[in-house]
């Protein structure tokens, strides 16, 4: 028992040396730039009202849960699990486990289906984009390019006594390489590779 108390005490003292993670900094920034009140007003007319049955989870919690799923590529079960594992995600979404359980995967699924049924996903995206544009922030798509060197022997000891004409010499850092360069590119819709 004494070992457990010592471990708990050491964890509590660790908190004063903590720092915000990249995830927490990102969520702090999203808390500032996303027009939450406008999004709540957009979804609220379609969100179920409290009745005689099970009380619905708060709309603000569900809306933030939806955004967390999009930003961190979480499935419905993965999102539910993440709430129990990450106090940072709970704090951002407004989930207080001392008051109520985190939204379960079925609740999360039903909320996403509600958004899809009323075509609210596109409306929310347009609302966010309009708001960001008024703040001078523009989000666009792009292409990620990766260049890799495919090594080839620089030897001329082959049947023709010459180097391969398609291979070239290039410098990467302070080291020289002989071979071909393969360029891979990705966009949101497709990927392609070329040898150059």
**Closest CA relative to residue 150, chosen from 176, 172, 181:** 181
Decide if 128 contacts 39 (C-beta within 8 A): yes
- Residues 60-84, buried b or exposed e (16+ Cβ, 10 A)? bbbbbbbbbbeeeebebeebbebbe
175 beta partners: 172
The answer on pLDDT for 73 being more than 60 is yes
Classify the C-alpha dihedral 171-175-176-180 as positive or negative: negative
CB count within 10 Å of CB 184 equals 13
Tell me the average pLDDT of the chain.
79
What the block records as the tokens of 95 is: 């989930």
Q: How far apart are the first and last CA of the chain?
A: 65
Give pLDDT tens digits for 121-179.
Answer: 889 988 988 888 888 877 666 666 666 767 666 665 566 767 666 677 777 778 777 77
Whole-number percent of the chain with pLDDT over 90: 36
Dihedral (Cα; 59, 60, 61, 66), 10-degree rounding? 90
pLDDT of residue 5: 43
Most confident of 7-11, 99-103, 156-160: 99-103
**Closest CA relative to residue 105, chosen from 84, 81, 89:** 81
What the block records as the tokens of 22 is: 């990249």
pLDDT band at 9; cut points 50, 70, 90: very low
């Amino acid at each position: 028992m004494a070992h457990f108390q010592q471990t708990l005490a050491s964890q509590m003292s660790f908190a004063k040396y903590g720092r915000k993670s990249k995830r927490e900094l990102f969520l702090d920034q999203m808390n500032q730039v996303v027009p939450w009140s406008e999004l709540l007003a957009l979804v609220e007319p379609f969100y179920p009202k409290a009745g005689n049955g099970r009380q619905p989870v708060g709309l603000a919690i569900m809306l933030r849960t939806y955004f967390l799923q999009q930003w961190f590529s979480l499935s419905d079960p993965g999102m539910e699990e993440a709430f129990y594992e990450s106090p940072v995600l709970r704090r951002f979404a407004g989930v207080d486990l001392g008051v109520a359980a985190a939204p379960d995967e079925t609740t999360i699924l039903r909320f996403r289906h509600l958004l899809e049924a009323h075509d609210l996903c596109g409306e929310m995206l347009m609302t966010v984009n309009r708001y960001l544009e008024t703040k001078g922030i523009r989000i666009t798509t792009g292409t990620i390019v990766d260049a890799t060197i495919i090594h080839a022997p620089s030897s001329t000891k082959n049947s023709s006594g010459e180097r391969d004409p398609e291979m070239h010499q290039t410098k990467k850092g302070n080291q020289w390489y002989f071979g071909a360069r393969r360029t891979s590119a990705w966009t949101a819709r497709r990927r392609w590779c070329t040898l150059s």
